[in-house]
Amino acid sequence: MSSNASPQYDAVIIGAGVSGNLIAKQLGLAGKKVLILEAGLAVPDSREEYMNNFYLALAKTPESPYPALAGRTGSEKNPVGVLPDPSTLPTPRATVLSIGKGPDVSYLVQAQPWSETHQGSQEPPQNPQPDANGNVPGLQFSSTFERNGGGTSWHWLGTSLRELENDIKLQTKYGHGVDWPITYTELQQLWALAEKEIGVSASTEEQQPLEVVGLVYPPGYEYPMQSIPMSTVDQAVSSGVAGLQVPGTLPDTPGGSDPTMYNVFVTPTPAGRNSEPYDDRRVCAGNTNCIPICPIQAKWDPTVTLGKALDTGNVTVSYQSVAYNVAVDGTNATRVDYYVWSRDANGNLSKVSKSVTGKIYVLACHAIENAKLLLLSNNMQGIANSSDQVGRNLMDHPLYLTWALAPEPLFGYRGPLATSGIESLRDGEFRKYRSSFRMEIGNEGWNFSKGDPYTSAMDFIQGTNNTGTNDGGPNGTPQRLAGVQLAEKLNNIYTRQFRIACMFDQSPLAENRVTLDITNGKPNNVDGLGIPRPKVDYGLDPYTMEGFRMAAYVCSQVYQKMGAKEFTANGVGGAGDFTYRGVNYHYYGAGHVVGTHRMGPESGSSVVDASQRSHDIPNMWIVGSGSFPTVCTANPTLTLMALAFKSADSIIAALNT
Amino acid sequence: MSTNPSTPPSESTLQAFADMSAALTGFQSSFIRPFLDPVNLSGTFYQFAVSQVGQPRMDALMGTFASLSNQTPKLTSQQIADTLLETALDAPSLQAQLAQSIVAMWYLGSWYVPGVLGGGGFGPPALQVISSQAYTKSLAWNLAQSHPMGFSAFTFGYWSQQPASLQTFGVDTSNGGGQ
């Protein structure tokens, strides 16, 4: 269209996930005309198709209900089914099953380990050395995301914790990381809006003990719904750890020590799932399946807010529409170029190139995809990047998993995946020396830890010991059991299983970054539409690793205090394995992808301001957890929605002037 | 007995397969093959196993079950299960490996190729989930006194209280065996 014509929309939003849908709804309510470009497939009319995908999936990973699917028949070469080749897909995404794989399987092109690529950097991360067997630890980015209508938060857990005041003042308070350019008071107001939109079940009275880590609510504030009851697992851990204290740091922590003794106690987790009928959705029935999919939508997901956005009559969604360029004329964004893709009856992929204009542009397509689109634009010269911070400071909540058998049944595999946590160790002077973490108590036995109930069942059917529990035969050999004896043995094991997941406030590092997988301006790996794929460099610094050392210690203390037997086992050489001070650890991704377009007070060191508006391009907002300057100690969804409320207000104000 | 796995098995074959499955898994017959059984997992599993290992191998296993069932004095279900799964032997025969795969079908809703073992900290990979209903009715979850993940028949807050007894979840705890 002619550049002189007036824009087609008030706002063009790229991505129909948490932030995009919330901003669309707010703009729609204000009478603004909005187009959402969603790269992936439309939100299905019913989630039965997704449920069926989940039931039939060999590996019930977070991505398993959502297209494109892994094959449903295993083979020796592909034991969990054939994985789709990202170069044939219009919207490939990072998946659990592709972690540690090459670019024929993994959408994210994972860079070499730090030891090979980051020598001589200003703040060299101490990449662990190869072990005695010569295995190089596989520091790989291990978080995944979806590209479909509704986005990754189809499979969020629902955890709706608020950040702590010191989370957002890490530099000022502890001299580490960076501060957030927003006040805690303002965040409190924004969280209240997000808690209402999501429908968070919690009680401020039950959260009150967390005043010790600085969690405070404005006077009189109460959550929209009563809290989710603590599970039998939570109750056992809570009573089992009574009186436990741990020091802020372990002996020989680099940089200094915090000998303060901190109380370990359990609190219910504020959750975006219904404890009462709310917002025309049902009460949680404890399907124990928040990840990968709630069968009854008792857990809020972004399609709820998308529905409300569409109900305004001012919002349109264009599905299967992949943005690949944001045109900038001078300082303003002027146009989005995108492919509309389709498949014919034979599955052949085709695309049509289109453009659309708006007064305002909002990039809301995930921390990695936002960075990719910014770097792709302007013929791969990049936009909104005068700070050189686009794609940098990639963070996650690296997740350390430990697991144990309780002395008595505590009955996991029941209720929402997690209903409580240990939040009492999230803040303290130790943050000068090591990363802080929260501890999530799981209600799904050893499902995450060991792939149970499958692994234990096959152990006792076949006489193997992959779980570590099948050692009751002569001289500790595995048993093969049958009939009622088999059933009762498995009952005895399953009902005593539980796990704790620790999530760390990883350091922001410029070297951890998303770039385009290009060499001399030419893409090495592309998706099915010919768009260059993101390349990721990722690793952990000693500050973060020291947090792992502490977390392993705290978990062992919890298990000892409970009389539980720990079975945590960490490998060497696999993706996510590393060795720190002689001890092996493994991290999982938490899906909490953060930092790639960090917010800050000025354009020299950040990409967006506190309202997530580009410093460089005044009619462009870049939104989502990519704006977080640090990953903090709470799961990010609540806060990224809170920030989206602030962005929506600033966009409406800009449109009205 | 038909040699064509696509032909539905006879009523007597199905009942014998269900009785054998109950002994092998330790579950009450009414959980394996309910009086009203629109899902008919017994039929699905029988036919699936035959399609994988062939009719003669299934016939041989069920023949052994029949002869064990007819012994006098009568064997307990636990004795029959131990014999079929050869738990006293160091290594299971091919026939016992098929019995293992049948237990796995009921417990896990998936087909595990007989004799393929797991390793490296994880169980063997399943060839496939046999059907959606095979997953949503799989019995390992009952051994956790719970429900398949993603298929809860319970109501809000159940997780804050102790579950019903293992027997309520279908394990034949009254009939031999036990820890």
DSSP-derived letter for residue A65 is T
Contact A145, A18 (CB under 8 A): no
- Give residues 264 to 303 of A whose Cβ lies within 8 Å of B: 275, 283-289, 293, 295
Q: What is the pLDDT of residue A80?
A: 86
> Taking 90 as the threshold, does the pLDDT of residue A239 lie above it?
yes
Grouped pLDDT means (10 residues each) for chain B, 179 residues? 64 97 97 94 98 98 98 97 97 98 98 95 94 98 98 97 97 63
Q: Which residue has the higher pLDDT, A265 or A140?
A: A265
Q: What is the pLDDT of residue A93?
A: 97
The mean pLDDT value for A249-269 works out to: 97
Q: What is the pLDDT of residue A130?
A: 41
Gap between the Cα atoms of A102 and A88, Å rounded: 15
**Residues of B in Cβ contact (< 8 Å) with A478:** none
The mean pLDDT value for A96-121 works out to: 69
Q: What is the pLDDT of residue B173?
A: 87
Gap between the Cα atoms of B10 and A264, Å rounded: 61
Contact A232 B126 (CB under 8 A): no
CA dist list (Å): A621 to A375, A506, A601: 15, 25, 15
Gap between the Cα atoms of A377 and A608, Å rounded: 17
- Chain B interface, mutation test: which of A484, A485, A570, most B Cβ atoms within 10 Å? A484
Structure tokens at A541: 């610094």
Across the interface, of A54, A466, A571, the residue whose CB is closest to B150 is A54
B88 class by beta-carbon count within 10 Å (0-12 exposed, 13-18 middle, 19+ buried): exposed
Mean model confidence pLDDT for chain A? 94
CB within 8 A of B168, min separation 6: which ones? none
The mean pLDDT value for A626-649 works out to: 98
Q: What is the pLDDT of residue A1?
A: 43
User: Model confidence over B83-123: pLDDT tens digits?
Assistant: 999 999 999 999 999 999 999 999 999 999 999 999 989 99
> Is the Cβ of A413 closer than 8 Å to some Cβ of chain B?
yes
Give, for A115, the enclosing helix (H) or strand (E).
Answer: helix A114-117
Contact B26 A485 (CB under 8 A): yes
Gap between the Cα atoms of A350 and A301, Å rounded: 30
CA dist list (Å): A120 to A124, A387, A511: 7, 22, 11
Q: What is the pLDDT of residue A187?
A: 98
**Residues of B in Cβ contact (< 8 Å) with A495:** 144-145
Q: How confident is the model at residue A138 (pLDDT cuts 50, 70, 90)?
A: low
> Taking 50 as the threshold, does the pLDDT of residue A114 lie above it?
no
Q: How confident is the model at residue A102 (pLDDT cuts 50, 70, 90)?
A: confident
> Is the Cβ of B92 closer than 8 Å to some Cβ of chain A?
yes
Nearest CA-CA distance, residue B134 and chain A, Å: 9
- What does the CA dihedral B120, B126, B127, B129 come to, rounded to 10 degrees? -160
Q: Where are chain B's structural domains?
A: 11-160
Q: What is the pLDDT of residue A218?
A: 97
Q: How confident is the model at residue A216 (pLDDT cuts 50, 70, 90)?
A: very high
Q: How confident is the model at residue A461 (pLDDT cuts 50, 70, 90)?
A: very high
The mean pLDDT value for A118-141 works out to: 47
What's the count of helices (H) and strands (E) in chain A, helices before strands?
Answer: 14, 23
Q: Which residue has the higher pLDDT, B136 or A125?
A: B136
> Is the Cβ of A492 closer than 8 Å to some Cβ of chain B?
yes
> Taking 60 as the threshold, does the pLDDT of residue A133 lie above it?
no
Q: What is the pLDDT of residue A76?
A: 80
For chain B, the straight-line distance linking the first and the last C-alpha, in angstroms and rounded, comes to 38
Gap between the Cα atoms of A230 and A220, Å rounded: 24
Contact A424, A554 (CB under 8 A): no
A296 class by beta-carbon count within 10 Å (0-12 exposed, 13-18 middle, 19+ buried): middle
User: Model confidence over A178-191: pLDDT tens digits?
Assistant: 999 999 999 999 99
> Is the Cβ of A475 closer than 8 Å to some Cβ of chain B?
no
CB within 8 A of B152, min separation 6: which ones? A285, A286, A287, A288, A295
The mean pLDDT value for A79-99 works out to: 93
Structure tokens at B153: 């028949």
> Taking 50 as the threshold, does the pLDDT of residue A325 lie above it?
yes
Q: Which residue of chain A is at minimal alpha-carbon distance from B135?
A: A55
CA dist list (Å): A66 to A217, A305, A496, B133: 37, 19, 32, 19
> Is the Cβ of B29 closer than 8 Å to some Cβ of chain A?
no
The residue to which tokens 């050395």 are assigned: A129
Structure tokens at A134: 């010569």
> Is the Cβ of A445 closer than 8 Å to some Cβ of chain B?
yes
Check the CA dihedral A195-A197-A201-A204 and report its sign: positive
| DSSP codes joined into one string, A165-200 | GGGGGHHHHHSSS---SS-HHHHHHHHHHHHHHHT-
- Chain B interface, mutation test: which of A51, A55, A58, most B Cβ atoms within 10 Å? A55
Percent of chain A predicted with pLDDT > 90: 88
Q: Which residue of chain B is at minimal alpha-carbon distance from A470?
A: B121
Structure tokens at A327: 């045109």
Contact A453, A433 (CB under 8 A): no
Gap between the Cα atoms of B42 and A378, Å rounded: 62
Of A81, A75, A40, A76, which Cα lies nearest the Cα of A57? A81
Contact A73 B104 (CB under 8 A): no
Q: Which residue has the higher pLDDT, A52 or A5?
A: A52
> Taking 80 as the threshold, does the pLDDT of residue A2 lie above it?
no
